[in-house]
């Protein structure tokens, strides 16, 4: 909008003609231009806007007041007046006499004579300086806003990255915590197991004494009665025989408990594992014959002497042989091997950690017992070393056998591994791994006193 109303100055005097007065006093800057682009009429608003006098403007070409005329839309239109008779809403820039740029919203229409020839062009310009300024302000505000948004976005991104980093850290911490928790649980479980075993051990001696004495009385009493009752009463004989068998069964359980409690002492000497195996097999000859078991031995010659408690290892072997034989009631094959083996695979207890029983690359002595029985269900394999776990509860198993085996082997700083053979129908393989040298490097004999 012009700063001052054109009515105030009236540089062009009012005309007599009413219509011309309208044109002179209208608010928009009006220029009438001939087809050759020279100005033929101006109104007050134009003079006020451009700062020229009427005389200065009449006859002046448009190029003098339209900025960058050659490239302006107006110039293009003037070259095509016959095609486009009017234009509207075009933004152009006028140059005032003092050189000031004035943005205008331009509307133009052609004026034709009676013959239809273009007589002139009516150009109306509305000063949009204020609007432009607002637009600039707006754009600046928008730019500012954009900058702020960008800054804020960047800040958000930074804090987001920070958060992600923290989240990752937290996840790591959480994982570590979980791992620690699992380890703690395991340790706790092992402690509980240990505590259980200690309690079992302590209880065993007490229970054995308290139970075995009454059992002894029952046994003697039953035998006395068996002699005294009339022989022709088979039911009485059956009843008493059953009592006697029950006493024997109870005694087996108590003896198992005692074995368990006797686990904590070893008498170590340099011993020949092969000969312990031979002697243990002799003990079970009647059993393997009865079950029609084909026993084969593949014992390595010149096997090194090992630091062992002969009696306890014999107990282990008898236990394992009995398990194997009982797993093959219809007959089968029992194979016992001894050999030296260099450990090449990480396994529980085999590795490079200080708590590992064997180091990777260490050569160990192995006793391997293989049967052709039905094996053990894979999901039960992890439980078979637990005290009181048994698959033969109804057949008189106490469930202490394999836990004792494991205990004895571990006291020897060894490992017992049980695995189903690749084809489970082919039975079970038990491997006992022994140190050739004790962990402290001694041959074991000097350490005897510690283990007694």
Partner 1 sequence: MAKKKILFIDDEKTFIDLVKLNLDESGEYEVKAVYSGKEGIAQAQEFVPDLIFCDVIMPEMDGGAVAQELQALPKTEKIPIVFLTALVNDREMGNLSGLIAGHPFIAKPVSVEELLQCIRKNIKE
The alpha-carbon radius of gyration of the chain (Å, integer) is 56
Q: Chain centroid to CA 109: how far?
A: 75
Report, in Å, the least distance between residue 270 CB and partner 1: 19
> How many residues bind partner 1, per CB under 8 A?
30
Per CB under 8 A, contacts with partner 1 among 279-338 are 283, 311-312, 315
3-state secondary structure of 16: coil
The conformational region for residue 420 under phi > 0 = left, psi -120 to 50 = alpha, else beta, is beta
Residue 103 sits at φ, ψ, to 5 deg, of -75, 135
Q: Name the helix (H) or strand (E) containing 168.
A: helix 129-228
| Count of positions (residues) in the chain | 452
| Token pair 């919203």: residue | 105
Among 237, 258, 287, 295, binds partner 1 (CB under 8 A): 258
Task: Tell me the per-residue interface mask from 202 to 241 with partner 1, x by CB under 8 A, - otherwise.
Answer: ---x--xx-xxx-xxxxxxx-xx--x--------------
264: contact with partner 1 by CB under 8 A: no
Report, in Å, the least distance between residue 252 CB and partner 1: 9
Among 28, 92, 127, 259, binds partner 1 (CB under 8 A): 259
255: contact with partner 1 by CB under 8 A: yes
Q: Which stretch binds partner 1 (CB under 8 A): 71-79, 153-161, 185-193, 246-254?
A: 246-254
CA distance 61 to 36: 8
CA distance 174 to 417: 34
Select 244 or 438, whichever has its Cβ closest to partner 1. 244
Report, in Å, the least distance between residue 275 CB and partner 1: 16
CA distance 451 to 263: 11
Helix axes 310-326, 401-411, angle to 10 degrees: 150
Handedness of CA 288, 293, 294, 300 (dihedral sign): negative
6: contact with partner 1 by CB under 8 A: no
247: contact with partner 1 by CB under 8 A: yes
CA distance 384 to 184: 23
3-state secondary structure of 72: coil
Select 35 or 221, whichever has its Cβ closest to partner 1. 221
Select 296 or 311, whichever has its Cβ closest to partner 1. 311
Report, in Å, the least distance between residue 386 CB and partner 1: 20
Among 103, 120, 125, 256, binds partner 1 (CB under 8 A): 256
Query: In this structure, are residues 373 and 428 in contact, taking their beta carbons and an 8 Å threshold?
Result: yes
How does strand 363-371 pair with strand 358-359? unpaired
Select 293 or 404, whichever has its Cβ closest to partner 1. 404
**How far apart are the two ends of the chain, measured CA to CA in Å?**
114
Select 184 or 217, whichever has its Cβ closest to partner 1. 217
Report, in Å, the least distance between residue 372 CB and partner 1: 27
Report, in Å, the least distance between residue 207 CB and partner 1: 10
- Binding residues vs partner 1 (CB under 8 A): 205, 208-209, 211-213, 215-221, 223-224, 227, 244, 247-248, 251, 255-256, 258-259, 261-262, 283, 311-312, 315
């Amino acid at each position: 909008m012009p700063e001052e109303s054109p009515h105030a100055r009236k540089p062009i005097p009012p005309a007599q003609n009413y219509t011309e007065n309208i044109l002179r006093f209208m608010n928009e800057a009006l220029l009438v231009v001939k087809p050759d682009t020279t100005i033929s009429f101006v109104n007050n608003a134009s003079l006020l806007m451009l700062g020229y006098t009427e005389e200065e403007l009449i006859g002046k070409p448009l190029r003098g007041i339209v900025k960058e005329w050659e490239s302006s839309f107006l110039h293009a239109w003037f070259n095509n007046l016959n095609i486009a008779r009017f234009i509207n809403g075009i933004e152009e820039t006028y140059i005032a006499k003092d050189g000031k740029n004035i943005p205008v919203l331009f509307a133009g229409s052609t004026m034709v004579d009676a013959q239809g020839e273009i007589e002139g062009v009516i150009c109306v310009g509305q000063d949009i300086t204020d609007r432009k300024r607002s637009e600039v302000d707006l754009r600046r505000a928008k730019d500012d806003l954009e900058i702020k948004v960008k800054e804020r976005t960047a800040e958000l991104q930074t804090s987001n990255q920070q958060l992600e980093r923290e989240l990752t850290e937290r996840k790591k911490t959480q994982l570590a915590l979980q791992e620690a928790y699992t380890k703690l649980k395991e340790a706790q479980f092992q402690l509980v197991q240990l505590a259980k075993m200690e309690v079992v051990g302590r209880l065993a001696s007490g229970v054995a004494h308290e139970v075995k004495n009454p059992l002894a009385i029952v046994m003697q009493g039953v035998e006395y009665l068996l002699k005294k009752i009339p022989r022709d009463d088979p039911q009485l004989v059956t009843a008493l025989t059953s009592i006697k068998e029950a006493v024997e069964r109870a005694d087996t359980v108590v003896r198992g408990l005692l074995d368990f409690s006797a686990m904590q002492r070893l008498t170590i000497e340099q011993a020949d594992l092969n000969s312990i195996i031979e002697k243990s097999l002799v003990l079970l000859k009647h059993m393997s014959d009865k079950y029609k078991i084909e026993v084969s031995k593949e014992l390595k010659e010149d096997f090194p002497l090992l630091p062992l408690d002969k009696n306890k290892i014999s107990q282990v072997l008898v236990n394992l042989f009995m398990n194997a034989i009982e797993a093959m009631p219809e007959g089968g094959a029992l194979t016992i091997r001894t050999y030296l083996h260099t450990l090449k695979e990480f396994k529980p207890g085999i590795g490079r950690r200080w708590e590992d029983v064997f180091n990777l690359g260490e050569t160990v002595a192995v006793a391997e017992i293989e049967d052709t029985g039905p094996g053990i269900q894979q999901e039960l394999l992890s439980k078979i070393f637990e005290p009181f776990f048994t698959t033969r509860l109804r057949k008189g198993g106490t469930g202490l056998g394999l836990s004792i085996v494991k205990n004895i082997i571990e006291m020897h700083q060894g490992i017992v591994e049980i695995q189903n053979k690749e084809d489970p129908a082919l039975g079970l393989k038990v491997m006992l791994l022994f140190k050739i040298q004790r962990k402290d490097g001694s041959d074991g004999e000097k350490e005897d006193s510690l283990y007694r």
